Copies of this chain bind each other. A is one copy, B any other.
Amino acid sequence: MLKEMTELTEIGRVRCFDGWQLRYRHHSPVLGCDMVFSVYLPPQAENTHLPHLYWLSGLTCDDQNFVTKAGAQRYAAEHGVIIIAPDTSPRGDGVPDTEAWDFAQGAGFYLNATQQPWSKNYQMESYLLNELIPLINETQPVIIHKRGIFGHSMGGHGALTLALKNHTLFQSVSAFAPICTPIHCPWGQQAFERYLGADQEKWKDYDSCELIKQHGLPWPIRVDQGLDDNFLGEQLMTESLVIACENQSHKLTLKMREGYDHSYFFIASFIGEHIAYHAQQLEG
């Protein structure tokens, strides 16, 4: 299996901030399809292994939105961190899909589906933890005990839940405009009902606010949220995360950003702060 996993095909290599923006395709046995992901290697990676961050994107995105729009490479080069950007779901003609923009392909919610027809391919949690991370460890110059995770919207949900459930695997976490409690918002309810079935108890394993009740993290959670984000009230529910953290005395660094919306212009404006934050957390 490991041999199969490591058959990476390089499909992109572009110079950027004196490092390399790379793109790979590989077959994923876990997802039952071919997958594409991107890696930014800063110039320091030529000579040494480096701390690294996984970026999880939001609904409708693939690996390219972050790579082309966030402007992260500048800061990754400045701080000497590698950034890995996976896709947001399994892909391809053989993978079940719908017409909806917020469910199925482009909307994997970083979970393991249990319901037909989704369960065969939609295993993004296992893909990331058991396939992509080992693959990156084996093929990229990463320091394997200096690993952070961050993301946007659905990807913010993914970053928070994966960190909360795997805090020996990750050492830092942050999010932009995360879906804080998917079991209580339309995006999450639609997805969880179809991916996970009607038993809402089983949904809680993919809900940041529920997971914080069960066990916190040994390090803070950092979140930035735009106050002019159209999705703030109905879908993101940042207030629920604040309450969950307060109830558990969990450290939350929350920056509410006046005038900012849900777009990559918001992400670009603060990605530098997030990368600096992770670099500092991973230094310890």
With the chains together, A18 CA to B269 CA distance in Å?
Answer: 8
Interface residues of A (CB under 8 A from B): 14-18, 21, 68-69, 71, 73-74, 226, 228, 257, 259-261, 263-266, 268-269, 272
Q: How many chain copies?
A: 2
A69, A71, A228, A268 pick with most chain B CB within 10 angstroms: A71
Known: A73-B268, A268-B73, A268-B74. Is A14-B68 also a contact (CB below 8 A)? no
Cβ 8 A contact of A260, one of B15, B228, B264: B15
Chain B residues contacting A68 (CB-CB under 8 Å) are: 68-69, 264
**A22 CB to nearest chain B CB (Å):** 11
With the chains together, A48 CA to B260 CA distance in Å?
Answer: 22
Closest 9 CB pairs of A and B: A71-B71, A15-B259, A16-B265, A15-B260, A14-B265, A17-B269, A68-B69, A16-B269, A21-B265
With the chains together, A17 CA to B226 CA distance in Å?
Answer: 12
Docked-complex contact A261 and B228, CB < 8 angstroms: no
Chain B residues contacting A228 (CB-CB under 8 Å) are: 15
Chain B residues contacting A272 (CB-CB under 8 Å) are: 74
Chain B residues contacting A71 (CB-CB under 8 Å) are: 71, 74, 268
Chain B residues contacting A74 (CB-CB under 8 Å) are: 71, 74, 268-269, 272
With the chains together, A228 CA to B15 CA distance in Å?
Answer: 9
A20 (CB) vs chain B CBs: closest residue: B259
**A260 CB to nearest chain B CB (Å):** 5
Chain B residues contacting A15 (CB-CB under 8 Å) are: 226, 228, 257, 259-261, 265-266, 269
Chain B residues contacting A269 (CB-CB under 8 Å) are: 15-18, 73-74
With the chains together, A14 CA to B226 CA distance in Å?
Answer: 11
**A218 CB to nearest chain B CB (Å):** 33
Known: A16-B266, A17-B269. 13 other contacts (CB 8 A): A14-B261, A15-B228, A15-B260, A15-B261, A15-B269, A17-B268, A18-B269, A21-B265, A68-B69, A71-B71, A73-B268, A74-B74, A74-B268
